[in-house]
Amino acid sequence: MSNAKALPEAGGQGVAPCCPPLAERPMTAEEAETAARMFKALGDPVRLRLFSAVASHEGGEACVCDISDVGVSQPTVSHHLKKLKEAGLLTSERRGTWVYYRVEPSVLAAMGRLLALPSAV
């Protein structure tokens, strides 16, 4: 599992609309499994704080040293960041001594679209 296959085409520029809005039609088992992976990635308080820290950081990226005071040990921080990366929510890049994490806006947008309720029910 050297390559994260969590999201379909996270590297593409096509925004990857994994699924239709939740309320449009009952999700299929496949769609649900794909979407649940993203929600589960944000279903942990520590991961949510890490993700928020990266997302709210200047330039949309942050090095681990800047966000690792969330109350858990550094190995745990690394573990959670890896999970977020596998879910396609973050990307990492090594620059010299430090590793910088950055949010993946398209995936976030896809999740937001999933939660959108139709104005006319």
Partner DNA sequence: CTACTGGTTCGACGTGTGTCAACATAGACG
Partner DNA sequence: CGTCTATGTTGACACACGTCGAACCAGTAG
Residue 49 φ then ψ, to 5°: -70, -40
Determine which residue in the list 48, 64, 92, 99 makes contact with a copy of itself, applying CB under 8 A.
Answer: 48
Question: Does 92 contact a copy of itself by CB under 8 A?
Answer: no
d(CA 6, CA 36): 11
Query: How far, in Å, are 50, 63, 73, 87, 109 from residue 19 at the CA level?
Result: 25, 31, 35, 15, 12
Among a copy of itself, DNA, none, the one that 10 touches (CB under a kind-dependent 5 to 8 A) is none
Q: Which is nearer to a copy of itself, 15 or 96 (CB)?
A: 15
Question: Does 96 contact DNA by CB under 7 A?
Answer: yes
Q: Which is nearer to a copy of itself, 2 or 73 (CB)?
A: 73
Question: Does 26 contact a copy of itself by CB under 8 A?
Answer: yes
